[in-house]
Each structure stands twice: as C-alpha cells, then as structure tokens.
Chain A
C-alpha cells in the first residue's frame, strides 16, 4: 500500500507491538500527530507536561514490563528535552526507541528554526541512532531501531525524521515484530569449568544486577542460589529479584549496602558476578574489591569483562541461558561454616531506631512496603530517599522497583511512575521522592490528573538536598553550600492547584493513616512527610573506600 512517512511510523509501531507511546507535539512532528489522530484507536498516545517526563515515562513503561518504550518529540528543544531521559535509559540498559522530528531536509544544516543535530548530541548516550533522509528507508530503519534496542545488552536508539520525510509517500509492506537474535551459549567446557570453580569454593558469593532482570533469569538464579546454598547480594538494579525474606539474600552491596554484604564480598574466595558491571558504587575501590577471591563474570556484554575489575573467568551470553546450562553441573552444598560466619556478622549490621513521635525515613518506606503489598511498583527519584527506598522497600518481584541507578537522575521518578501505571493499570504504583527531586518534575502532576492515574507520591521532605548535604556533613566539615534552598513550597496547595489532593504528615501514625486512606481512595495524591534534615543514609562507605572505612553514625 502507498502510505505517507507518518502513516508508516504508525504502522511500524503497531507491527512492533508499541501500542502505547509517550510524547509531546510540535511543528516538525505535525504530520506524525495527524497520522496518530487517524490511528487513535490502535495507538494510545500519552502527552506529558515536558518531553523529559515523556522520556522517563517511556522508560518506566519499559522497566516495568520488559517491552520497548517509545517516546516521540518534536525537533530542536523537544529533542534536546529528551537527552536526560535517553541518557538515563542508556546507563541502565533500558530498551527505548526515541523518535524525533526534524526540520525539512532542505533546511537541515542551515541553523533553521528549531533545528538541532540531535543525532550528534545523542551519539554518546544511545546504542545507535539514525537520521532518515529518504522515506523509502523509513520502515526498515524503524524496525532496525526496535531490533537494536532489544538485542544483546538493551539500550536506547534514536531515530530522527525530517518533516518532509513524514509527508512523502512510498509503498509499505507490513512485517511481523523483529526477531531478536539470541546470543550463543559459551563453550560447554567454559561453563563446566565455572561450575567446578563454584563447586570447589569454600566461601562463594553471588553478586547480581539489572542484567538478571533484563534476561528474566530470576527463577534460575534462585535455583542456583538454593541448590548450592550460596549467599547472594545485589546492586540497586537487582532489587526485587530475590525477596528480602530469603535468608540467602544478603541485600544491597556497595556504598550504602549492609556491613555483612560488603564484609562477605571482602572475605569471599569466589565472586560470581551476574548481569552486573562492577560500577564505582559497588566496587568502590577496584584494587581492594574482593581481593581474596577469584572472580567469574557472567554477562551479555563482552566489553564489561575486566572493564573495572579483572575477571579470572567470564561467560558471555544471556545470563538466564547460561545459568540454566550450568545448573545441572552445580553440586548441592551447605557451606555451613561460611554461612555461620555471615550470620554472625549480621548481628553487627546497622539497624535504625524506630520512633513513634517523629517520622523516620526507614519507617516511612517499611510502612509503604507493608501497606501497598508485594505487588506494588515503587518508583523513586534520586537522593537519600532513593537509598532508603532501596534499603527498606522489600520488593519480591523483579521490575517492581524503578530507579535511576546508573545516571542518578533527579526528576526520573514521577515520569517513571506514570509509565509504570499506564503499563500496569491494575497494580499499585507508589512514587517516593525528595523535596529537591520533586521540584524538578512535579509538573507531571497535570499528566497524572489528565489521565486519572492513581499514583501515590510520597514526598520525603527534609527541606534540604539531603544526599548532597550528607556528603557536606561527612566530607566538607558541615559547610552547607547551596543545599538548604529555604523553599516555601506548600505541597498540599500545589497539589490542589494541579487538581489532585495533598496532605502533610509529621508522625508515623499520621503517615499510616494518610497512606491507608490513599490506598482506599485510589486517586492521585501527594503525601508530604516531614523528616529531620540531619537524617543520614547509613551505613556508608566513602567513595574509593572499603568495608573497613564504613560509617555507621
């Protein structure tokens, strides 16, 4: 059939299963929006307040479902507003297709109105990007974008489309969804050797990350852990893969991980790193990291092997497939002595004190976890509240804790929560944010209201940029430069102005009541929680330090 470029975009989106997209209109994408009007029964378009919000929403959609998120923006400022969202998805390996309009091909390169070279701008933060200059290539380029976003290590792909290409016509042949090639398994001998190492280890530990989530490997990972009784710990991106109540789950590792977890890595004789990349928040000191251990690295991305920490052995491929192939070679084991030592360390773990008078952050998060239940999806912004959320959220399912791990993007949370709620209308979505982060994206309240999304936003308000202030306390002698903005924002009133409700609470009892009510009402709401500005995220290992440098008060 003879279709315009804009219609081809709609057809390919449908063909690739992208029936929900997030975006914001503008001159360069008018033809596309005109086509979307025609396709409105088949493609749901969610308009956000800001393109950054749309990009985080597409990302939250992808993180919570495993499908590829799609975001659409106009040229120039629309396109540049996507940059933070694209970079966020890139750092956390989220499959995302970003479509941007551009000025007509005859205007490109002339500093025309709303022209930017977005392909150049996004080169370092995309897996790949395209500029389509000819309508006959459009369909295949879009398909390629979906294929690349989902192949191997997932990531964002940008397709920039000049306005005249969306108007031009060409023949279109529908095809099915792109086939994602499965990576080959490593050689059987290599898998056997790794299994032997695991069988022989006296003090093994598994350290896993978001790659387990991408691969859907949580069940086989749990099998491995339980067959050989190997203690496991995870990065922030691995939150929810193994439930916190599992005695073999030692929790989060790294800068704000437990003492036991970091100690266990330090004393282990074998680290099995699965779907993770030894970032500087985990391997704070790359030379001292697990220095008594042999390291086996299992990952889909060969360029991660020995990038930060030297691996003694590596298995490249889909982590789920590799673990499944390895599992029959794993001998059941008890590791009694090792586990007893770990249990003993656990008595030394930092435990925050509860209060009945003032709101303490861990109590806020635990209450959310308890009342919202295991099925709830939690999205966070960035700062102390993010770490408290990670430490106490008690997720038991992968894809239920959405956070910007790699880039640390303040302003990620509300958009991500919107995307997650659109994708999972039957699940609770709770957005945990800080007063600083929320000021960056609270404009998305209008989206939440327009689409009637019952997202509960919990604002952990310490009145300061808590995480930065914590560093100033610990490393800069309390010189609080620009971290106490003295804002006068009345969140409840702002909420009202946007057309949703807002409450402010000061005690655990008030919070519990407000949160229970919010769950019952099932409407969009902001709950502002006032906490002390000197609350810290503990424990903490300073950048570059080891478990011996851990700070606990």
Chain B
C-alpha cells in the first residue's frame, strides 16, 4: 500500500508539476541552495517563492527590501496569483506530495483546517522554530495555526471589521455618520442616499451569487460565526443566523444592495461611487488607498451598526496566516522570511502602515502609527478604533468543512436575495445540504 502510494505520489507530482509549469509559465519555483547551520545572516543563501493575492501579496512584497537588508543573499519572489487560484493550486500541489508548490503560501486562518485535515503533513511543522513566539501573538489566532499541538502556520493578520463610508456622499445626502448606531439607522441613511443620488449610489455591495461575507460579519457580530458550533454541529437554523440573513434580505428588498461580481466588482463599486459604504475587515483600508488614491480624504470608517441599540458592534472577517509547504527545499530561507514579516514589529508595521494589514503580533502595537490620524481617511485616528474593537470580538468556530459551508451559504443567500425565499427556510435547506455533504449533525 505505502509503496503504491509513493509511486502514485511521484507520478501525480510529475503531472501536476508539468501542468503548473505550463499554466503559469513560471520561472524556477524550486531553486535551492543548502544553508543549514549557518549563523551569519549574510551567509544564508537561497531563492524563495511566495504565493498570495491582492493586497496581501503587495504587502508581503513591501517587506522584502527590509528583509534583504538582513539577509542580502535570499532572493524573494512574491507572486500574486489570485485568492481562489492559490487555494486550487495548493490543494492539487499538496495532493501531489508538494510538487509545484512555492516556499511560502498565504492561507486564510479559517481555511487552515481544510488543508491540515486532508494533508496532515503537507505543511511544514514549525513548532521548534516558532514556539518561542507564542506569547507575542493574539491567542485566538495562534489557536487557529496550531493543529494537534503542532504549529503549521504563523498568524499574520486579524480582521476586525468596520463600516467604511464615503464622507462626501453622506454629506451630500445630509446623513450624519454619528447618528448611525443600528442597522435600522443605516438602512434609513441608505434610503436617503439613494434618493439624493438619483438612484446611482446604493448602500453597500454584495456578491449575491458567490460570497456570503455580509452574513459572516453579521453572524460574527451576533456570536454565531460561522456555520458550526463549538461541538462541530451545523449551526445555521438558530434565531441569530436567521436574523442576519433577514437583515440582508431587507437591505436588498429596499433596493440598497449593489450586486457585484467578485473581488474586482467590490473594488470597482468602491472606486466609482456605486456604493456609499463597504462593510469589511480592516484590511480593506489598503485596497481603498491602493485602488482609489484620488478619493483621499473622502473615506472614513465606523464600527458596524448594532442589531439593537447598544448591541455588540465588534466582528471579525478574514485574517490570514503564512505557511511553508513541507516539500520546500528552502525551509531555512522560507522560515527567515516568514519570521521577518510576521514575528517582528518592523515587518508587521510595514504592512500595517502601507496596507492596513492588522498584525496578530502584539508587540507591533506599541508603534506610534496606531494612535495617529490617517490623512487618507478623513484625518481620523482610524487604527485606534480597531485596536479598541479587537477585545470585543466574539469567539468563532471554524472546521475543516468551512469552505463547504461558505459555498452552501452563498447558495442560500442567492435563493433569499434573488429569488425571494424565506430566510429561515433557506437556512434550514442549507443546514440539510451541509449535513448531507459533511456527515455532521444539525444543531437544534
């Protein structure tokens, strides 16, 4: 059996390698120079490739110059190959025993289980190198990187959420952002904005067909994120999940949703004023700055509105880790890169300052930038808002079936928003479907 598996592996590796090389026409993905045992940073040599997407890739790229000051002989290539492509290629590469994979790869924290459960040894065991940093990291994030007592990735960023909003459009419609405390307030504001802009500017973007980000933020806020409860049962038919989906339906029924296509659709709507607000994680700040530089001063942020007056306004969306595929031939160089980017204030704060990637590495918070006003965002000290929010975020449960949950929920969302199905019924059907796909029980 084992022998057959090995032959399997190597042949599939060959296949996948060929496919990947043909697909992206990439240069050397696996160049290597051995470097074990060296203590002098300048002597560590090698060439490593990093996979990430969008702003995550750009921010990692931004740490390379400072990394190369310490380790001049490690050449780092960051490839932005798109979020879903990273996952699809990672899956096939791990299945092929590591063929064609990069030396470092970004994985969203809530997806870690998907990979570590299917490929228990596919990602390098970083325990011996990383355990000394445990005390420095946000404990909830560290827990997501630690699987069966082994550290398989290093927490990168957290995703406290906010409601990004257009100051100028709010003013034009006569809406005072300070008056918005609940989702009902926000809906009323959305109606005013829609009227004031002759229907051009909707309240917020939703990728109705493919992404349930709004639902995840709202359930996180309500403490029932995401899809499963702490016993691993499917947790979708509870009142709070129904409340979240009902709210989305209400916003949509009032004509306040801009139905967008994927990530690019959100970015486009953000740029050209199709939406007055974007509820998203702190990391969206980097995208706004990067993609809409001419809107400097016109964006600001507040916490998500509460479901009822005085209710919780803190939630989490996203947040990632960096992992090293076990098949890397440059483990030392890859580790040094990850260590510099994530386990030093220098690395983390480069990404924070330029792209709003919120460090999970807590010593980084002592830097000045966390209390300073940000010119781009209406000259407000927006980072302080997130720093204060973080401790109020309710805990969440992710499992290896998280990705399936996302797909099923997007499907339920489409049934509700575009076909008018009752939210409760849609969630019951979604729970049944998820049970069918995962063999998990549905929580009562």
Is the A/B pair a real complex?
no
Binding site for A on B (CB under 8 A): none
Binding site for B on A (CB under 8 A): none
